Amino acid sequence: MIETSVGLDVTVEYFALFRSCARKSLEKIHLDESAPAALYDALRARYRFPLAKELVHLVVNDEYSPWDKALQPGDRVVFIPPVSGG
Amino acid sequence: MFRLTEAPIEIRAMRDTLSNPACGGFVSFEGRVRNHHQGSEVVKLEYEAYPKLAISEGNRILAALKQKYGLSGILCVHRTGELSVGEIAVWIGAIGVHRRECFAAVSEAMSLIKESVPIWKHEWYANGDDEWVRCSHEHEEAPADQVIRHGRPPSGPHPVATIMKEDGRRRY
């Protein structure tokens, strides 16, 4: 769990490449700022995600969300690496 | 309707759900597990999905194509979990009055699914390596109609995310 000062709690779920890097499927994180980009940058540094933010889509509460929309307490966040189904 | 399944795809059952005596056209596509990728021998692979979003995104794509081509029905089933070479990874079927719209819808559905449905392929190779694969759909069919794209991620399609290693294989 990444601890900071005051702020909001969110849940981050990991899939595919990011799950492999983080070695976990889910964690609760306490944030001191609500910008999803800051969260991604922190996780990218912590788990060495090999993808720049520009290559990743943001999903909040099971819906695609723009990067400039602030996170809210209790949000479930998923960062989507490039897909490869089919 | 878009489905995910961990079990082998039962083609006959899928076909039987697409039946309408008013329709003279039925087209289906099977995507099978290849034994090679970018010059490496593939020994097995695994598909991982974000189920809730994959199903909602898949259903959005199929509903839009059904309307666009005036189909009687369109169905896609995608495997998750571990698959062997030769197994069917994805099956799409479309039924309509005539063949043309069925061919077009199935081809377009495959492109859109590969492009935006959150499913990921993890391959293992004969040399012991493994990797999360980035599909090369940018080299395949022409982009689908913009009308179908309105519900896709806000920032558009994923840019190509590749780092070419010494062996020339596409990697993250």
pLDDT in tens, B26-71: 999 999 999 888 888 999 899 999 999 999 999 999 999 999 999 9
Q: How close A5 comes to chain B (CA, Å)?
A: 31
**Which one-letter DSSP state was computed for residue B122?**
E
Q: Do A84 and B154 count as a contact with CB atoms less than 8 A apart?
A: no
Q: Which residues contact A31 (CB under 8 A, 6 or more apart)?
A: A4, A7, A8, A9, A10, A38, A39, A71
Q: Which residue has the higher pLDDT, B9 or B156?
A: B9
Determine which of B92-101, B115-124, B128-137, B153-162 has the lowest per-residue pLDDT on average.
B153-162
pLDDT of res. A74 = 97
Percent of chain B with pLDDT over 70: 78
What pTM was estimated for this model as a whole?
A: 0.84
Query: Nearest to residue B170, comparing CAs of B126, B116, B132?
Result: B132
- Interface check A83 vs B, CB under 8 A: yes
The CA distance from B76 to B25, in Å, is 17
Q: Do B120 and A83 count as a contact with CB atoms less than 8 A apart?
A: yes
pLDDT of res. B165 = 33
Q: Do B56 and A80 count as a contact with CB atoms less than 8 A apart?
A: no
Going along A1-86, which residue ranges are E strands?
Answer: 8-13, 26-31, 57-60, 63-64, 76-80
- Identify the H or E element spanning B133: strand B130-133
3-state secondary structure of B79: strand
Q: Which residue has the higher pLDDT, B156 or A33?
A: A33
CB A61 within 8 A of CB A45: no
pLDDT of res. A6 = 58
- Interface check A85 vs B, CB under 8 A: yes
Q: Which of B132, B153, B158 sits opposite A64 (nearest CB)?
A: B153
pLDDT band at B152 (very low <50, low <70, confident <90, very high): very low
